[in-house]
C-alpha cells in the first residue's frame, strides 16, 4: 500500500514535469540519418559473429567494477599514508 502510494507520487510528478514536452509535435529524423543508422545496424550485425555484444557489455561492466575497486583501495592507501605522517591528523 505504501509502495503503491510512493510509485503513484513518482509517476504523477514525472507526468507533471514532462507535460510541457507532450505539447510539441512528433519529431522525425532526416532520411540521411536514418540511412546511417540502418548501415550501422548492418555493421554491428556483421561484427556480432566476431565479438558478441553481450561479451562486450559484460567486459565493460567488469572493467568498471575493477577500476572502482582499484581506485577505492588506492584512496584508502593514500589516506593511510597521510595519517602516518607526523603532525597530520
Using 50, 70 and 90 to split pLDDT, how confident is the model at 88?
A: low
Given this model, what pLDDT does residue 89 score?
59
Does the residue 39 lie in any domain? no
What is the number of domains present in the chain?
1
pLDDT of 75 reads 96
Has residue 86 been placed in a domain?
yes
The answer to whether position 31 is within a domain reads no
Where in the sequence is the domain holding 73, given as residue range(s)? Answer: 52-89
pLDDT digits (tens, 9 = 90+) for 38-75: 887 777 776 667 777 778 888 899 999 999 999 999 99
76 found inside a domain: yes
Asked whether residue 67 is assigned to any structural domain, the reply reads yes
Among 44, 73, 40, residue whose Cα is nearest residue 57: 44
- CA distance linking residue 45 with residue 38, whole number of Å: 11
Whether 83 is covered by a domain: the verdict is yes
57 is a domain residue: yes
Q: Is residue 88 part of a domain?
A: yes
Amino acid at each position: 500500500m505504501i509502495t503503491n502510494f510512493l510509485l503513484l507520487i513518482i509517476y504523477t510528478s514525472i507526468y507533471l514535469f514532462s507535460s510541457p514536452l507532450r505539447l510539441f509535435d512528433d519529431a522525425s529524423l532526416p532520411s540521411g540519418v536514418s540511412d546511417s543508422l540502418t548501415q550501422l545496424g548492418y555493421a554491428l550485425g556483421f561484427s556480432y559473429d566476431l565479438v558478441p555484444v553481450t561479451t562486450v557489455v559484460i567486459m565493460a561492466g567488469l572493467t568498471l567494477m575493477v577500476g572502482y575497486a582499484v581506485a577505492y583501495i588506492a584512496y584508502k592507501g593514500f589516506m593511510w599514508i597521510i595519517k602516518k605522517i607526523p603532525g597530520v591528523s
